Structures are given as structure tokens and as C-alpha cells.
Amino acid sequence: MTKLSVNINKIATLRNARGGNIPDVLKAAIDCQRFGAQGITVHPRPDERHIRYKDVYDIKDSITTEFNIEGYPSEKFIGLVLYVCPRQVTLVPDSPDALTSNAGWDTIKNKSFLQDVISRFKEKKIRVSIFIDTNTDNIFHAKETGADRVELYTEPYASIFPEDKEKAIAPFIKAADAANKAGLGLNAGHDLNLDNLKYFKDHIPGLIEVSIGHALIADALYFGLENTIQMYLRKLK
């Protein structure tokens, strides 16, 4: 079964809109685990507009499943990850003002930089995943950075899926094949939802984990958090 890691950033976005501590990010993380999620993902950004660095420190001791911290590897971010020592860090090439992740790494251009960063995480035995698009050259070169996994950026799949499922999935099948041949573990995330998740999972060989936040939290407004997590888990069986 492909594992589900719940990104709780949107819980923090709602809290930050009003101030105070409602909803409680720590409680949300604990509840997501209790309701069946096999991982918790957070993505602290420089402006802390959703998950704050303090949140990551506050919840780290309560994560009993896999803790995945994702973000751009600035020195501040690297320091956070090295202190917390999550099971996995996912490196994303976001600019500081990016609204959301919208591209994968150019692992050829940034290979030396990524090698240096990844080696620091490896010293702490932290598994490293690289956010990446379906360009197979970038996937093969990702292996040379020292990464353990790649996370496929699935927004293009989600955008095309309603009109043409086969066209949407085709480049991701090729990318998955490249990752498997390169000996890289395979994760995926961005705009996956209850409509497109099962088709993606059924057609991508070796898919280990998906990270889902925005759609899952939005669905929870209608279905409740526990029920929603179970709905997503059923799509992954």
C-alpha cells in the first residue's frame, strides 16, 4: 500500500488568519496520526504564513509516524532539519515569495549545491527526497546528488486529468520508470485529490508515498477529518 502523509500547512493557515491557537496544529498532527495517516508533512516558509518554525519544534516529539519536513534548503531551514532530525526531508526549489511549490529541481544545474546540502542531512541519517518534475534527465541526475527518493510534482497531472486521463498520466509513468531504474524511491504530491488519486496510484509502479494537504483539509470541512483520511487511505489500497 502506498503511504499517506498529511500536510497540515492549511491547518496553520486557518489558525494564522485569526490569531490565537484555533485550530491547534499540534492536536491536528496527533489526530491525523490517530485517524490512520502514516506520516505528517510540514512546509515552513520564510514568511511563516502557515506552518511556523516554532510549530515544527513544538510538534516534533509528538510525531509517532513518519515526520517529513519540506522546503527550500536555506541555512535557516537546514538548521531546523538538523535539529529536529525528521525521518525525511524533502527539498523544494521554492523562491521565498512563492505562493506554492510550482516546479521541480534542475538537478544538473544545481547538482553541486544539492550534493553539499544532502551530505549534511546524511550525516544525521535523515532520508532525503528531491521535489522533481517528469524530466527523466533530472531524475537520473538526482541519483548523483545523493538523494534517496524523488517526489514527483503532480500539478500538471491534476490539471490535465479531468479532460484526458491517459495523456495526464503518460509522462509520470515514464518518470516512475526512470526513478525505478535509477534506484530511487518514489514519492508524489501536489494537487492530488479524491478524484485523481486512485488512477495515479494504480498506474505508477513503485509509488511509496503521497503527500496531500490542500485538498484533504478542504474535504475535511465537508466530511470530517477522520472520515476524510480514511477516504484517502481507501484510494491508496
Which is the catalytic residue, given 43, 66, 151, 209? 43
3-236 fold: TIM Barrel (3.20.20)
214 is catalytic: no
151 is catalytic: no
Which is the catalytic residue, given 50, 66, 70, 151? 70
190 is catalytic: yes
Question: Could you tell me how far CA 40 lies from the centroid of its own chain?
Answer: 9
Give dist(CA 204, CA 226) in Å, integer: 26
Tens-level pLDDT at each residue, the chain (237 residues) = 899 999 999 999 999 999 999 999 999 999 999 999 999 999 999 899 999 999 999 999 999 999 999 999 999 999 999 999 999 999 999 866 555 556 799 999 999 999 999 999 999 999 999 999 999 999 999 999 999 999 999 999 999 999 999 999 999 999 999 999 999 999 999 999 999 999 999 999 999 999 999 999 999 999 999 999 999 999 999
Q: Look up residue 114 and give its three cell numbers.
A: 544539492
pTM for this entry: 0.95
Which is the catalytic residue, given 66, 151, 190, 209? 190
Q: Look up residue 37 and give its three cell numbers.
A: 495517516
Task: Give residue limits of the domains in the chain.
Answer: 3-236
